[in-house]
Amino acid sequence: KMAEKQEEPSNTQNGEPDNAEEGEEKKKKKVKREDLPPFEIVTGERLPANFFKFQFRNVEYSSGRNKTFLCYVLETQGKEAATSRGYLEDEHAAAHAEMAFFSTILPSPDASLRYSLTWYVSSSPCVACADRISETLRRHSNLRLTIMVGRLFMWEEPEMQAALKRMKAAGCKLRIMKPQDFEYVWQNFVEQEEGEEAKAFVPWEDIQENFNYYEEKLAEIL
């Protein structure tokens, strides 16, 4: 409970009078948040900018970044073409966002349609998710998946490397996000402040080096 308090200082602590209505809203939000079962998947149109800046940062040592944020663009081609987009995050760790995507967004692909799916994910999948992805792609030959990742997760582990290779063999394209990809996510999936011009994406200083670093590692693995 302490941690929560630190994350959300109330206005009174900041020396501003607490707006009663806002306080009520906050309380409601908080209650909602705590009532969620531990594997609730939070989906939304756009993710908060501070989440993006922290979770998607392509740092080498990602301490504290134990959630997965998954932004997706799903193009469906059949008699009529349709595109849907959104994002998922895993609350706690019982259901990872990758698994949740297949159970909530695309539970049963229609064999008569073709799906082209792109994910922008803060880090590459764990072994279990990677294997689930491989299995899904093998089962549905009408589904093409490209995964753009900010960081590689536990890439030194032999079983992780093997799982990434299996994904590639199943037809999954795995790519490291370039600075332009982060910018794309910023423009398309991150909440912009109301009434302001969309803020330009500001790359962090080591964004290009980190991209180069992970791209090299991924090339070695695959």
Q: How far apart are CA 115 and CA 106, in angstroms?
A: 10
At 123, the amino acid letter reads S
| Displacement of CA 212 from its chain's centroid (Å) | 21
As given in the structure block, the two tokens for residue 23 are: 């306080």
Q: How far apart are CA 124 and CA 173, in angstroms?
A: 12
Catalytic-residue membership of 220: no
Q: Residue 174 belongs to what H/E stretch?
A: strand 173-176
Exactly one of 7, 40, 98, 193 is catalytic; which is it? 98
Neighbour-count burial for 123-144, b at 16+ CB within 10 Å, e otherwise? bbbbbebbbbbbebbeebeebb
As given in the structure block, the two tokens for residue 168 are: 């590639």
Q: How far apart are CA 119 and CA 201, in angstroms?
A: 19
| Cα three-residue angle 216-219-220, rounded to 5 degrees | 90
Q: How far apart are CA 185 and CA 71, in angstroms?
A: 8
| 146 touches 175 (CB < 8 A) | yes
Catalytic positions: 98
